[in-house]
Structure 1
Amino acid sequence: MNNSTDEIIKAKGLPSDAVVCGIDRGGHRSLLYSLGIEKEEMSRPFIAVVNSWNEIVPGCAPLREIASFVKRGISEAGGLPFEFCTIGVCDGLAQGHRGMSYSLPSREVIADSIEIMLKAHCFDGAVFLGSCDKIIPGMLMAALRVNIPSIFVQSGPMQNGCYKGQKLSMPSLREYTGKYFEAEITRAELEKIERCTMPTQGSCAMLGTANSMSCVVETLGLGLPMTATTPPFTSQKRQEAVTAGRIIVGLTREGRRPRDYVNKNSIENALKVGFAIGSSTNLVLHMSEIAREAGIDISLAEMDEISAATPYISKVHPSGTVPFNDLNAAGGVPAILQSLGDLLHGEERTVSGKSIKEIAEAADWEDKNIIRPRENPFHSSGSLKVLWGSLAPDGAVVKQSGVAENMRVHRGPAVVFENMEEAVEAVEHGRIEKGSVVVIRNEGPIGGPGMREMQLVTTLMVGTGLSDTTALVTDGRFSGATRGPCIGHISPEAALGGPIAYVRDGDIISIDLNKGTLDIEVDGDELRQRASASARKSRPAADGVLGSFVEHYLRKSEEKERCL
């Protein structure tokens, strides 16, 4: 018997050795030969290019080109790139119908599918190419779970549209739809607006979840400076992609992993940046799960405290009039870091090799009207506000940066809807009285199922003028495109017997963002009587991926964790 231990491929001390090293790995090597890979290439680090490119999501469409530049950088630095794709949902296309039930569950599918690919093929490092709402969170979860050297490159924002001098993004269009229902514009005008709102590919030109999470990636230290705001199909984005490809090979050889960068301090930094610029309330959902993957606990109360201590320094659409793509010329995330200064943990390192403080000091802060100095903020506290009270014993969240001053405190009669579709129809047909509180229930993670966004309702309310006088509360969630007095994530949700399940038309609901309260002015005994007299509605049947999602949240509920 030949017991030779001669090496065909010399071991690198990396995970991919398990695939290519050893006499008994001949079948593995033969499979790689079939791909056109030469023997000498097998001794290089195996780098995954994890792409979310597809042809239906405008935010993902630029990623095919970006991947080609990333792979060039990997090859130049001595790595061996392998590209594969994961799924990606466009929340804009999934908005307002049952397709939205699949948006949040897609995050877990993305994380799980990437984990499978990275682990099964023993990759040594990974470059993550993401864009839209649940893609980047899912990728971050996977990166931290697998914990091999990683770097992120986002597609970047599309250019904003323009109509009669007004800068447009997705929520602008939906608000104009509300104006159409109020007969303020014609159908022909609305069609013109539809055609010019989104003139290029990229993530929507607002501070929705996609761009919020891009800023998170950069602040966590897993992306290069400016990568969140650089537009696609530009020389700057292409150079970022090449540079990221080169850097990942170095990170892999040095053994620098995501958990070396993501810790409690860097998570606090990311939240502060998000709250400083009016990020989506979906940050609450995603950052808690991202932190969990890193072995870190961060509570809803902690997030509220972080927001309260963070000045609001940039009014990006929809909370203001500045489209997200204008942040790039203003200085991007580095300028935001410079403005926040010692409010951040400046010593935290990044994949660029620089610390947060060093990136901030080197920032080209070009426009101090778009990104204000922290000494001159739009508001002394950040965009997130957590509310507690008899309607939300376990909490609820609101993007307070998008709420007009006159609606920070509101008291009005409830108008109850059992799902989003009922509420949309009522708004479109003018059946909501000004001064009321719209209640949409059975839209939580379990009751929906899937925790749909209520964006179609909220933008219609803005367009019809209702948001000036009328609030909305729900156990569902909101798009980052939302503005107005819209309170979501009410917990416990209706499907778990939370108080929102027993609200009746005409019940008085009081909201106070200054005090952080959300109450139903119904005696506790009366609510308990309603609960005991009500037959709990059976949850909607859910199979497939939605069934798995419901089981996931039921387990969290049983563990007495908040269903955010």
Structure 2
Amino acid sequence: MGIAEEDFDKPKIAVVNSSSRLSVCYQHLDQVSEVVQEAIRAAGGLPFEIRTVAPSDFVTSAGKGGRYLMPTRDLLVNDVEVQVEGAVLDGMILLASCDKTTPAQLMAAGRLNLPSLVLACGYQLGRECGGHHVDIEEVYNSVGALKAGKISLGDLTEMTCQAIKGPGVCAGLATANSMHCMAEALGMALPGNAPIRAGGDRLYELARQAGRRIVELTEEGTTARQILTPAAFRNAVTVACAIGTSVNVMRHLIAVAVESECDVDIIAEFERAADRVSQVTRIRPNGPDRIETFDEAGGVSGAMRQIAGELDLSVLTVSGHTLGQNLDARPDPDPAVIRPLANPFRNEPGLIIIRGNLAPDGAVVKLSAVPAAVRRFEGAASVFEDENQAIEGLRTGAVKPGDVVVLRMLGPKGGPGTVFAASFMAALVGAGLGDSVAVITDGELSGLNSGITIGQVMPEAAEGGPLAVVETGDRVLIDLNERRLTLAIDDEEMSARIGALVPRPPTTEKGWLALYQQLVQPLSKGAVLGVR
């Protein structure tokens, strides 16, 4: 292998790289890895590149209705464990990219409790098309516009040719950029890392800093669980509510806390944060500002400076300094993009948890992406257990203004593997019904989704949750002010329906999805793997 004898006693550092030629998200990671490895060597460490599975929502979701997306998160966690712990390596730097890599890498860091550092590897850019800026969000929502006959296939094709300019994750505050921000908010990424443009000079400078710093962390003996504390998770939740991250950060933060054996109730922390934090940014899909604008304005560090009074500034971070010390060294944010908490864009949090007889364990709403005029919605349920049928309902008129569309049996156990229900929501918005049709689902949504959307309903329908007993025509009430989700039947009727449920037979899927269904824990536990 060409390793000199004198190198054997150096800190052995895993460079965890999910590089793949399947997706643009990962096209630049090999170059980033080389820079990191050079910096580790220069700092006195011995780097070992570790290749892992590379889940990509837009590519991996092409098969099995997106059922591989959540399972690949946990596959990646175990992939890292086997290669890093099995080889008795001393520390690891984790190259984070698409939606599932960052949470999986944080989960692995918490599980192994080694000196660990996340390097967020950045977002892609869009470009001009038809006289206006186009990115992947525009393409996503335009599928519904095509279904509704508002644009032609040629128009959509032209958008797809222009929407992505360079490597990196989806533009906007979708799940990937949201989780990059969460890594920094947790203290697991260096200050100023999120969001960051993929392929830019600043990313490579941070890669060099990160390579040096992981060697120092290893020599200092600072492990992941010294950083992933209850206070750090509370900070991350507060930031998520203040900037309006993807709805998926909740399940991922729960999973990271579970793997870190950290005694913190993430759902309760979201409920508490919603009472004291308002939205200080309006990054797409929450408003007009693009992710590069947020980056230039100060990024998540800038947001944390603006809400510093609500954060625990004493927590340790991978920089070796406290969060407060990190923020003191950062420039003032642009208040036109990142407002102070005393003067927010909206006097409400970006994310909330709602409960009720349809979601006794909670459900999550990206309030920042719900039309401001809609805080109460009541309608007749229209139930689907197949997303494609729901999308066809848009074309045929079966889905009408005033409906509450219930997409169920799409959760981790029901899929098996959480079904990517986000396509229906995007199609709904593209069809012009995002303000007049509500969606409730136990499937997976995208951080790009907007509209009246209730996601991650807990327990999921396949676990015997109340969502399983909703019938087409039932009245459903969504009250975002009261944070309630209610099926308009009495307790006796609800109990009778749940009592009459017939357990679904095990999946006919084979291989990894079948194993996942047997091992996956409830959404309220982060949908991690374990033996019940």
**What CA deviation, in whole Å up to 9, does each residue of 1:108-133 have, x standing for no partner?**
11111111111111111111111111
- Work out whether 1:183 is the aligned partner of 2:149: yes
Structure 1 stretch displaced more, 527-536 or 63-72? 527-536
- Work out whether 1:290 is the aligned partner of 2:256: yes
- Work out whether 1:419 is the aligned partner of 2:386: yes
Tell me the residue number matched to 2:15: 49
Deviation at 1:546, TM superposition (A): 1.7
**What CA deviation, in whole Å up to 9, does each residue of 1:424-456 have, x standing for no partner?**
221233321111100111111111111222111
Unaligned runs of 5+ in 1: 1-34
From 493, 501, 505, give the equivalent of 2:460.
493
Q: Could you tell me how far apart the structure 2 residues matched to 1:260 and 1:107 are?
A: 23
- CA separation of 1:542 and 1:190: change in aligned 2, threshold 3 A: closer
Q: Any conservation in 2 of the 1:445–1:553 contact (CA below 8 Å)?
A: yes
Tell me the residue number matched to 2:448: 481
**Partner secondary structure for residue 325 of structure 1:** helix
Q: Any conservation in 2 of the 1:407–1:469 contact (CA below 8 Å)?
A: no
- CA separation of 1:352 and 1:536: change in aligned 2, threshold 3 A: closer
Q: Any conservation in 1 of the 2:90–2:218 contact (CA below 8 Å)?
A: yes
Tell me the residue number matched to 2:159: 193
Tell me the residue number matched to 2:280: 313
From 462, 471, 483, give the equivalent of 1:516.
483
**What CA deviation, in whole Å up to 9, does each residue of 1:280-303 have, x standing for no partner?**
111111111111222223142222
TM-score, normalisation: structure 2: 0.95
- Work out whether 1:337 is the aligned partner of 2:337: no
- CA separation of 1:222 and 1:95: change in aligned 2, threshold 3 A: same
**What CA deviation, in whole Å up to 9, does each residue of 1:30-62 have, x standing for no partner?**
xxxxx0111111121111111111111211111
Tell me the residue number matched to 1:359: 326
How many equivalent residue pairs? 527
Tell me the residue number matched to 1:461: 428
Tell me the residue number matched to 1:541: 508
- Work out whether 1:110 is the aligned partner of 2:79: no
**What CA deviation, in whole Å up to 9, does each residue of 1:340-376 have, x standing for no partner?**
1221111112222332122222222352221112111
**Partner secondary structure for residue 313 of structure 1:** coil
From 414, 418, 427, give the equivalent of 1:451.
418
Q: Could you tell me how far apart the structure 2 residues matched to 1:96 and 1:506 are?
A: 32
- CA separation of 1:366 and 1:496: change in aligned 2, threshold 3 A: closer
Q: Could you tell me how far apart the structure 2 residues matched to 1:99 and 1:532 are?
A: 30
Q: Any conservation in 1 of the 2:255–2:525 contact (CA below 8 Å)?
A: no
Q: Could you tell me how far apart the structure 2 residues matched to 1:475 and 1:154 are?
A: 28
Q: Could you tell me how far apart the structure 2 residues matched to 1:144 and 1:530 are?
A: 40
Q: Could you tell me how far apart the structure 2 residues matched to 1:91 and 1:154 are?
A: 17
Tell me the residue number matched to 1:267: 233
Structure 1 stretch displaced more, 61-70 or 399-408? 399-408
Tell me the residue number matched to 2:355: 388
Tell me the residue number matched to 1:507: 474
Tell me the residue number matched to 2:138: 172
Q: Could you tell me how far apart the structure 2 residues matched to 1:263 and 1:506 are?
A: 46
Q: Any conservation in 1 of the 2:69–2:417 contact (CA below 8 Å)?
A: yes
> What is the correspondence of 1:28-427 to structure 2 with a 5 Å cutoff?
35-95=1-61, 98-296=64-262, 297-427=264-394
Q: Any conservation in 1 of the 2:250–2:266 contact (CA below 8 Å)?
A: no
Q: Any conservation in 2 of the 1:330–1:370 contact (CA below 8 Å)?
A: yes
- CA separation of 1:542 and 1:307: change in aligned 2, threshold 3 A: farther
Deviation at 1:184, TM superposition (A): 2.3
Deviation at 1:533, TM superposition (A): 4.8
Q: Any conservation in 1 of the 2:127–2:134 contact (CA below 8 Å)?
A: yes
**Partner secondary structure for residue 162 of structure 1:** strand
Q: Could you tell me how far apart the structure 1 residues matched to 2:318 and 2:525 are?
A: 33
Q: Any conservation in 1 of the 2:167–2:199 contact (CA below 8 Å)?
A: no
Q: Any conservation in 2 of the 1:170–1:481 contact (CA below 8 Å)?
A: no
Q: Any conservation in 2 of the 1:218–1:227 contact (CA below 8 Å)?
A: yes
Q: Any conservation in 1 of the 2:15–2:48 contact (CA below 8 Å)?
A: yes
Structure 1 stretch displaced more, 338-347 or 490-499? 490-499
Q: Could you tell me how far apart the structure 1 residues matched to 2:331 and 2:134 are?
A: 26
Deviation at 1:335, TM superposition (A): 0.8
**What CA deviation, in whole Å up to 9, does each residue of 1:229-268 have, x standing for no partner?**
2212222111111111111111111111111211011111
**Partner secondary structure for residue 20 of structure 2:** coil
Q: Any conservation in 1 of the 2:126–2:136 contact (CA below 8 Å)?
A: no
Deviation at 1:204, TM superposition (A): 0.6
Q: Could you tell me how far apart the structure 2 residues matched to 1:112 and 1:99 are?
A: 23
* Pair member with larger Rg: 1
**What CA deviation, in whole Å up to 9, does each residue of 1:162-182 have, x standing for no partner?**
334543332221222222223
- CA separation of 1:503 and 1:539: change in aligned 2, threshold 3 A: farther
Amino acid at match of 1:388: R
Q: Any conservation in 1 of the 2:252–2:526 contact (CA below 8 Å)?
A: no
Amino acid at match of 2:298: G
Q: Could you tell me how far apart the structure 1 residues matched to 2:360 and 2:185 are?
A: 32
- CA separation of 1:251 and 1:466: change in aligned 2, threshold 3 A: same
Q: Could you tell me how far apart the structure 1 residues matched to 2:272 and 2:372 are?
A: 21
**Partner secondary structure for residue 13 of structure 2:** strand
Amino acid at match of 2:232: S
Deviation at 1:545, TM superposition (A): 1.8
Q: Could you tell me how far apart the structure 2 residues matched to 1:76 and 1:94 are?
A: 37
Amino acid at match of 1:148: L
RMSD of the alignment, in Å? 1.9
Q: Could you tell me how far apart the structure 2 residues matched to 1:166 and 1:442 are?
A: 39
**Partner secondary structure for residue 68 of structure 2:** helix
Q: Any conservation in 2 of the 1:62–1:232 contact (CA below 8 Å)?
A: yes
Amino acid at match of 2:108: A
TM-score, normalisation: structure 1: 0.90
Q: Could you tell me how far apart the structure 2 residues matched to 1:506 and 1:403 are?
A: 24
Amino acid at match of 1:65: Q
Q: Could you tell me how far apart the structure 2 residues matched to 1:457 and 1:51 are?
A: 32
- CA separation of 1:38 and 1:83: change in aligned 2, threshold 3 A: same
Amino acid at match of 1:87: V
- CA separation of 1:302 and 1:270: change in aligned 2, threshold 3 A: closer
- CA separation of 1:324 and 1:528: change in aligned 2, threshold 3 A: same
Identity rate of aligned residues, in percent?
A: 33
**What CA deviation, in whole Å up to 9, does each residue of 1:508-555 have, x standing for no partner?**
10000100100111233333444455544424334322222222235x
Tell me the residue number matched to 1:20: none
Q: Could you tell me how far apart the structure 1 residues matched to 2:13 and 2:289 are?
A: 38
Q: Any conservation in 2 of the 1:124–1:149 contact (CA below 8 Å)?
A: yes
Q: Could you tell me how far apart the structure 2 residues matched to 1:532 and 1:450 are?
A: 25
- CA separation of 1:535 and 1:74: change in aligned 2, threshold 3 A: closer
Amino acid at match of 2:410: E
